[in-house]
């Protein structure tokens, strides 16, 4: 028998306007959030004790369940609950007390800013300062295996230098590291950026691959980017150490926002090579958002969406995929 305390702010536990108790076995939780769904089998007994209303072998799912609040605010950031399957629709609610206050987070970012610049700790990959265009501009990226630490400084005359390193737990001090550095220079509407990947381009998860400290001065890859914006027009170019290049342009024409992209793809096994391009035009009509596009194979795409309050309705068709989709999302 496991006692599931009711959340203080929750309504009385009811099912079809009747009291409900749950009896099951084999249920345990070791932390605030269950890493995978726990399923146990039990019997749900209604308050009338009428055997005809018993539900046998109901599936009980636990987790993730938690409420997370900021120390400086009462705003709830995360909320969850336990769900019961195999019973009729009801207003039944189950809540669990947190077993620990320690939270394990994924896809999180922490920012610390000061006179030195900005420190960012994130679990997501980091692409540096160069914006990739197609396959161009992605030679000096970090594929995160742990926490990526990024230090961005404020230089002179519009310069913004940075350095980033992937800090993976358990990594030996002499193991291969993923380090990229670079910066961005802004002069009016003109912006130039570069990324340089230092060290070897080996497997960063191989802790047995010890490297010489001098190897950190080697260049494993680099990216270059250049962009210019003026009024409603913007153009960008990207090039990297893999000889990949790409160009993009956008402008407003007769009420349409037009975006065009062209890039090359080197010949790889089982991959199409050559030039790739796409052109897309988007506009808004009476609250509807419409986007029309075409690629190098003259395959059209159509996207239509409309938002009404928190409800967003969308429809899309892609000739290259030989199909489309229709759906709706509700935000609350």
> What residue ranges do the domains of the chain occupy?
1-104, 105-229
pLDDT at 157: 74
pLDDT confidence of 235, banded at 50, 70, 90? very high
Q: How many CB atoms lie within 10 A of CB 37?
A: 11
State pTM to two decimals.
0.57
> How would DSSP label each residue in 11-40?
PP-EETTEEEEEEESS----SSS-SS-EEE
Q: How many CB atoms lie within 10 A of CB 264?
A: 15
The residue with greater pLDDT, 153 or 12, is 153
pLDDT tops 70 at residue 74: no
Q: How many CB atoms lie within 10 A of CB 89?
A: 7
pLDDT at 183: 92
The residue with greater pLDDT, 137 or 47, is 137
Beta carbons of 287 and 306 less than 8 angstroms apart: yes
How far, in Å, are 24, 107, 167, 196, 226 from residue 124 at the CA level? 40, 6, 12, 19, 25
The residue with greater pLDDT, 224 or 121, is 224
Tens digits of residue pLDDT in 182-215:
999 998 889 999 999 987 655 555 555 555 666 6
Tens digits of residue pLDDT in 108-138:
677 777 777 888 888 888 889 999 998 899 8
Mean pLDDT for the chain overall = 71
């Amino acid at each position: 028998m496991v006692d599931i305390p009711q959340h203080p702010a929750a309504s009385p536990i009811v099912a079809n306007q009747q009291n409900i108790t749950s009896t099951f076995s084999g249920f345990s939780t070791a932390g605030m959030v269950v890493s995978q769904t726990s399923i146990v089998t039990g019997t749900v007994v209604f308050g009338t004790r009428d055997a005809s209303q018993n539900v046998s072998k109901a599936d009980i799912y636990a987790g993730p369940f938690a409420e997370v609040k900021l120390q400086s605010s009462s705003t709830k950031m995360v909320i969850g609950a336990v769900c019961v399957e195999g019973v009729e629709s009801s207003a039944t609610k189950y809540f669990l007390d947190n077993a620990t206050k320690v939270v394990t987070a994924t896809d999180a970012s922490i920012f610390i800013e000061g006179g030195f610049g900005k420190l960012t700790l994130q679990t997501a990959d980091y692409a540096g300062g160069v914006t990739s265009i197609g396959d161009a501009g992605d030679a000096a990226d970090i594929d995160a295996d742990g926490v990526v630490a990024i230090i961005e400084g404020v230089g002179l005359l519009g310069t913004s230098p940075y350095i980033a390193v992937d800090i993976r737990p358990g990594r030996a001090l002499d193991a291969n590291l993923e380090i990229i550095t670079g910066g961005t220079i802004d002069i009016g509407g003109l912006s130039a950026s570069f990324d340089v990947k230092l060290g070897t381009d080996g497997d960063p998860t191989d802790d047995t691959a010890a490297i010489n400290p001098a190897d950190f001065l080697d260049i494993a890859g680099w990216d270059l980017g250049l962009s210019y914006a003026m009024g409603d027009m913007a153009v960008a170019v990207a090039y990297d150490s893999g000889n990949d290049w790409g160009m993009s342009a956008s402008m407003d024409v007769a009420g349409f926002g037009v975006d065009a992209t062209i890039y090359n793809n080197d010949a790889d096994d089982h991959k199409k090579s050559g030039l790739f391009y796409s052109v897309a035009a988007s506009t808004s009509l009476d609250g509807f958002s419409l986007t029309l596009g075409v690629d190098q194979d003259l395959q059209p795409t159509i996207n239509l969406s409309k938002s009404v309050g928190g409800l967003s309705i969308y429809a899309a068709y892609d000739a290259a995929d030989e199909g489309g989709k229709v759906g709706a999302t509700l935000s609350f």
